[in-house]
C-alpha cells in the first residue's frame, strides 16, 4: 500500500509540483489551443450541418418558388406580342393555366391595379391589395401567400413579375398556385424533434412554414427584424424566439436576394456536438495530463526519495534524542545513492556509539580517580588535624594552644570540602547547604567553656557552587564562625545564639549573613589573650576572591557580618543595594 505524504508549504513535494506545473505549462497551453481549435471546428461543422439540414428541408419550397418565378417571368415575356389585344391576351392566360401546369390562375394587371386580362375572364380592381402594393414596391419578381388573394378562393402562392418594354412599365403578370402554408415543409423527420422551418421574402412576409400559420411568426427570432433575416443568409446564431424559448437559428437563401428559409432548433439539439461528453473530455485533456504528470512525479518521488529521506530523518532524530536500542538504519529497496547513505549512516552510528562508550568509560575512570584523590586528601587533612590536636594538648602556653586550635579548625574546613566533593554525585560542584551545615557542625560544637550550649539557627539556600567558590566560602564561613563563637555573649534574660543564613536575593546573587548575640562573655578571661587580626585579613581576602564585599554591623545586642557575592562568576549585583551594603566595611573584633 502506497502511503500518500502530507503536503506542507515549502516541502519537496510542493516544490516538485510547482516545477512540474511550470514544465508542463507550454504543453498544456498547446494542448488547450489545439483542443479549442478542434472544438471550434466541430461546432462549425455542426452548425454547417444544421444549415445544410435547413437547405434540405426547403428543397421542395425552393423548387416550387423557382418554378413559379420562372413561369411568371416567362409569361411576362410572352405577353408582349399580344399586349393591347384583349382576346389574344385572354387566350394566352387561359392556355397557360391548362394542361399539366399546377397554376390555377393567371392575370395581367395594369400599372394602376386593374385586372384586364385573366385566365378565367374575370376583371377587377386590386390596387388596394397587398399583392399589388408589394409588386409596386419590389419592382421585380415578388411573392405573396394567403387565402384567396387572387382569383378563386383558397390558400394561394402568388408570383408577380413586372412587364416592361424598352424600360417602360406596361403592367404586371401574376400567377397563382394552390398552396397550403405547411404543405411544402410538412412531413419532415425533424418536426418530431421540435425543429421548425419558415420561409420569408425580402419584405419579411412569411410564405410557408412547417407549423400552423398562427405559430409561424412565433418561431422567428425576437430581436432580428424580418426584413433583416435575408441579410443573415448563410449564418447561424443563438437567439430567443418570439415564443420566449432560446433556440438555434440557421438562415439559408432559396432565391438569392428574394426568399430565405429560417430553420430553428431547440438549444439542446443544436449543442449536441459542442456539449457532448466527448467534447468536455477533450477540453479536460490538458488538466488530466497535468494531474497525471503531477501524480506520477509525486508517487515516484515518494517511492524513490521521500520515504527513504523520512526513514533517514527518523533514524537521525532517534539517535540525537539518545535512543540507542536499535540505531541502525534499514531501507526497503532503496536506490543506490540512498543505499550508500544508509551504509554511511550505519558506519557513523557505529563509530559514534563506540566513541560514546569509550568516553563513558574514561569519564567513569576519571570520576573514580577524582573521588579517590578527594578521599585521600580528606584523610590526609584529617590526619594533620589529629596531629595538631595532639600537639595542642602538649602545648605549654594558652597562646600556643590557641594557635594550634585555629590551624586545626582551618585544616578541618579544608577536609570538609574534600569530603563533600567525594560524596556529591557531581564531583565538579558543591552543595552550599550541605557544606555550611558540616562546617557549623564542627565549629559550632565549640563553647565558651562554661558548659552552656550555644544555639545555632540556620536558613540556608541550596545552591550548587564551583569547587573554587566552595573552598573560599568554606574558609570564610570557618573564620566568621570562629569569631562569632569567640566573641558571643549571653544577653540579659536571654541565651547565646548564632544565626547563619545564605539567601538568593536576586538571580545568580547570594547573600551570606552571620549574627551573634552580645552580653556576658562566655570565654574564660584567662583564655582571652587578644587577637592577632589574621582572621579579619583572611575574611577580607576570601570576600575579594568571591567577588564580594563584606560589611559588619554592630548594635547594642548583636554583631552581624554580611557578604553579597555572585553565584556565577561575573554576575552583576542587584540594582537595589541595602543601606548596610553601602556603608564602609569596618574590621570586626578579632
- The predicted pLDDT at position 270 comes to 66
Residues 542 and 498 reside in one and the same domain: yes
Task: Tell me, yes or no, whether 232 lies in a domain.
Answer: yes
Same domain assignment for residues 438 and 587? yes
> Which residues, including other chains, have CB under 8 Å from residue 400's CB and lie 6 or more apart?
392
Same-domain check for residues 446 and 347: no
Do both 283 and 195 map to the same domain? Answer: no
Give the three-class secondary structure for 141: coil
Look at residue 578 in the predicted model and tell me its pLDDT: 44
> Same domain, yes or no, for 305 and 334?
no
List, in sequence order, every beta strand (DSSP E) within 138-195.
142-147, 155-165, 168-178
Residue 509 is placed in which grid cell? Answer: 546573587
What pLDDT is attached to residue 323? Answer: 80
Question: Distance between CA atoms of 160 and 132, rounded to whole angstroms?
Answer: 8
Check residue 224 and report its DSSP letter.
Answer: S
The 10s digit of each residue's pLDDT in 294-350 is 787 778 777 888 888 888 888 888 888 888 777 888 888 888 888 888 889 889 888
Alpha helices in 4-85 (DSSP H): 12-57, 59-78
Total domains in the chain come to: 4
Question: Does any domain span residue 261?
Answer: yes
Last residue of one domain, picked from the residues 330, 358, 386? 358
User: Is the same domain home to 237 and 310?
Assistant: no
CA distance 71 to 77: 10
Q: Is-contact 255 65, C-beta < 8 A?
A: yes
Same structural domain, 455 and 313:
no
Q: Which residues of the chain have pLDDT under 50?
A: 1-2, 4, 181-182, 186, 273-275, 277, 447-450, 526, 529, 576-590
What would the grid cell of residue 129 be?
Answer: 391589395
**Residue 135 domain-assigned?**
no
| Last residue of one domain, picked from the residues 298, 327, 358 | 358
d(CA 332, CA 342): 11
CATH code (residue 532): 3.30.565.10
* 467 lies in some domain: yes
pLDDT of 547-583, one tens digit each?
Answer: 988 899 988 889 999 999 998 755 566 664 444 444 4
Within this chain, do residues 286 and 339 fall inside the same structural domain, yes or no? no
Q: How far from the centroid of its chain's Cα atoms is residue 570's Cα? A: 49
State the residue range of the domain holding 294: 12-50+276-317
Same structural domain for residues 266 and 313? no
Last residue of a domain, one of 263, 292, 317: 317
Give yes or no: residues 195 and 283 share one domain. Answer: no
Least Cα distance to 465 among 434, 429, 507 occurs for 429
Residue 213 belongs to a domain: yes
CATH of the domain at 197: 3.30.450.20
The pLDDT assigned to 586 comes to 38
Nearest to 104 by CA among 142, 61, 156: 156
497 and 580: one domain?
Answer: yes
In sequence order, the 6+-apart residues with CB closer than 8 A to the CB of 529 are 398, 399, 402
Q: What nine digits make up the cell of 217? A: 411568426
In a domain, 116, yes or no: no
Indicate whether 78 belongs to any domain: no
CA distance 257 to 97: 28
Q: What is the chain's mean pLDDT, rounded?
A: 78
- Condensed to tens digits (0 to 9), the pLDDT of residues 176-223 reads 888 764 455 545 566 667 788 888 888 888 888 888 777 888 888 988
The answer to whether residues 552 and 482 belong to one domain is: yes
Would residue 88 count as lying in a domain? no
Classify 427 as helix, strand or coil.
Answer: coil
Q: Name residues whose C-beta falls within 8 Å of residue 344's C-beta, 6 or more positions apart in sequence.
A: none
Per-residue pLDDT at 569: 54
Amino acid at each position: 500500500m502506497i502511503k500518500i505524504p502530507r503536503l506542507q508549504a515549502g516541502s519537496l513535494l510542493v516544490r516538485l509540483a510547482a516545477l512540474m506545473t511550470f514544465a508542463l505549462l507550454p504543453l498544456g497551453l498547446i494542448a488547450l489551443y489545439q483542443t479549442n481549435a478542434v472544438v471550434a471546428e466541430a461546432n462549425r461543422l455542426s452548425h454547417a450541418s444544421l444549415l445544410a439540414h435547413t437547405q434540405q428541408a426547403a428543397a421542395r419550397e425552393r423548387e416550387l418558388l423557382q418554378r413559379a418565378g420562372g413561369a411568371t417571368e416567362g409569361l411576362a415575356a410572352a405577353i408582349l406580342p399580344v399586349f393591347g389585344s384583349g382576346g389574344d391576351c385572354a387566350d394566352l392566360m387561359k392556355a397557360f393555366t391548362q394542361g399539366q401546369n399546377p397554376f390555377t390562375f393567371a392575370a395581367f394587371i395594369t400599372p394602376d391595379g386593374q385586372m384586364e386580362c385573366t385566365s378565367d375572364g374575370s376583371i377587377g380592381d386590386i390596387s388596394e391589395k397587398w399583392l399589388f402594393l408589394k409588386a409596386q414596391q419590389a419592382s421585380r419578381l415578388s411573392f405573396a401567400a394567403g387565402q384567396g388573394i387572387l382569383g378563386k378562393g383558397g390558400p394561394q402562392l402568388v408570383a408577380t413579375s413586372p412587364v416592361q418594354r424598352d424600360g417602360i412599365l406596361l403592367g404586371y403578370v401574376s400567377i397563382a398556385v394552390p398552396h397550403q402554408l405547411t404543405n411544402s415543409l410538412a412531413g419532415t423527420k425533424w418536426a418530431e424533434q421540435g425543429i421548425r422551418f419558415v420561409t420569408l421574402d425580402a419584405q419579411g412576409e412569411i410564405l410557408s412554414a412547417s407549423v400552423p400559420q398562427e405559430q409561424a411568426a412565433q418561431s422567428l427570432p425576437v430581436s432580428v427584424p424580418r426584413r433583416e433575416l435575408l441579410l443573415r443568409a448563410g449564418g447561424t446564431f443563438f437567439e430567443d424566439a418570439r415564443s420566449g424559448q432560446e433556440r438555434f437559428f440557421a438562415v439559408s437563401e432559396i432565391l438569392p436576394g428574394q426568399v430565405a428559409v429560417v430553420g430553428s432548433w431547440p438549444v439542446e439539439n443544436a449543442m449536441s456536438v459542442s456539449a457532448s461528453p466527448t467534447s468536455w473530455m477533450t477540453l479536460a485533456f490538458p488538466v488530466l495530463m497535468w494531474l497525471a504528470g503531477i501524480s506520477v512525479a509525486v508517487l515516484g518521488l515518494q517511492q524513490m526519495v521521500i520515504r527513504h529521506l523520512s526513514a533517514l530523518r527518523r533514524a537521525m532524530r532517534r539517535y540525537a534524542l539518545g535512543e540507542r536500542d536499535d540505531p541502525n538504519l534499514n531501507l526497503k529497496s532503496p536506490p543506490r545513492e540512498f543505499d550508500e547513505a544508509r551504509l554511511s549512516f550505519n558506519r557513523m552510528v557505529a563509530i559514534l556509539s563506540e566513541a560514546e562508550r569509550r568516553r563513558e568509560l574514561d569519564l567513569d575512570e576519571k570520576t573514580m580517580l577524582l573521588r579517590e584523590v578527594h578521599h585521600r586528601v580528606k584523610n590526609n587533612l584529617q590526619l594533620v588535624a589529629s596531629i595538631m590536636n595532639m600537639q595542642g594538648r602538649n602545648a605549654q602556653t594558652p597562646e600556643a594552644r590557641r594557635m594550634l586550635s585555629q590551624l586545626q579548625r582551618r585544616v578541618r574546613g579544608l577536609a570538609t570540602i574534600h569530603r563533600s566533593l567525594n560524596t556529591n554525585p557531581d564531583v565538579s560542584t558543591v552543595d552550599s547547604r550541605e557544606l555550611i551545615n558540616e562546617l557549623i557542625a564542627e565549629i559550632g560544637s565549640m563553647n565558651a567553656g562554661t558548659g552552656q550550649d550555644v544555639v545555632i539557627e540556620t536558613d540556608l539556600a541550596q545552591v550548587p557552587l564551583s569547587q573554587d567558590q566552595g573552598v573560599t566560602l568554606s574558609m570564610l564561613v570557618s573564620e566568621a564562625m570562629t569569631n562569632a563563637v569567640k566573641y558571643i555573649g549571653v544577653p540579659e534574660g536571654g541565651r547565646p545564639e548564632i544565626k547563619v543564613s545564605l539567601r538568593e536575593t536576586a538571580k545568580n546573587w547570594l547573600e551570606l549573613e552571620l549574627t551573634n548575640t552580645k552580653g556576658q562573655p562566655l570565654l574564660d578571661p584567662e583564655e582571652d589573650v587578644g587577637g592577632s587580626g589574621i582572621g579579619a585579613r583572611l575574611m577580607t581576602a576570601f570576600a575579594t576572591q568571591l567577588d564580594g564585599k563584606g560589611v559588619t554591623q554592630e548594635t547594642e545586642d548583636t554583631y552581624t557580618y554580611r557578604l553579597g557575592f555572585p553565584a556565577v562568576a561575573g554576575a552583576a549585583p542587584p540594582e537595589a543595594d541595602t543601606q548596610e551594603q553601602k556603608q564602609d566595611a569596618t574590621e570586626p573584633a578579632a
